[in-house]
Amino acid sequence: MDLDYIFRRRSIRKFNDEPLSDLQIKSILEAAMAAPSAHNNKPWHFIVIRERKTLDRIAEVHPYGKMLFQAPLAVAVCGDTAVSSKRWDQDCAAATENILLALPELGLGGVWLGYYPRSNDEDFLKDIISVPENIKVFSMVAIGHPDEEKIPRSQYEDIKIHFEQW
């Protein structure tokens, strides 16, 4: 069994200047939308951010997002709470992971930037990427051509496994 495509997903935070092709961007979004979704509601929307000014503004305000100063692209994974009020966040998490799993196959790397949940007064992306009222930003993924190497690994631990009962 070859699970290497899973083990090759590592958080990449250093990128070179090469921009992504339209095909790479389309493939990333196709991977995202192939994720499982409760009742198959697919409440997700994706904001593709390529403008340097916008990426820099987000890097300035996201406490753990400084790699966006270097990344050529970010995808904000958003959920429509009118489409799925209860499970939109779980669907967005699945879509986020699908994006990350696709990146090494496309010669790319990236990292999950947490965003949801936060209180309204902390909603620092609202003005930068103009998200409507019923739409919530769940996560961002910083993406680019890797300028660092990380070894694939499984992190398997026997101690975390319980059979039949805890």
Please give the Cα distance from 139 to 137 (Å, whole number).
6
Smallest gap from Cβ 165 to ligand FMN, in A, equals: 28
Based on CB atoms, which residue is closest to ligand FMN, 149 or 158? 149
Smallest gap from Cβ 96 to ligand FMN, in A, equals: 8
Smallest gap from Cβ 91 to ligand FMN, in A, equals: 14
Judge residue 129's burial from the number of C-beta atoms within 10 Å of its C-beta, 0-12 exposed, 13-18 middle, 19 or more buried: middle
- Please tell me whether residue 10 binds ligand FMN under the rule CB under 6 A: yes
Task: Please give the size of the binding site for ligand FMN, defined by CB under 6 A.
Answer: 9
- Please tell me whether residue 136 binds ligand FMN under the rule CB under 6 A: no
Please give the Cα distance from 128 to 60 (Å, whole number).
11
Binding residues (CB under 6 A) for ligand FMN: these are: 10-11, 13, 64, 111-114, 150
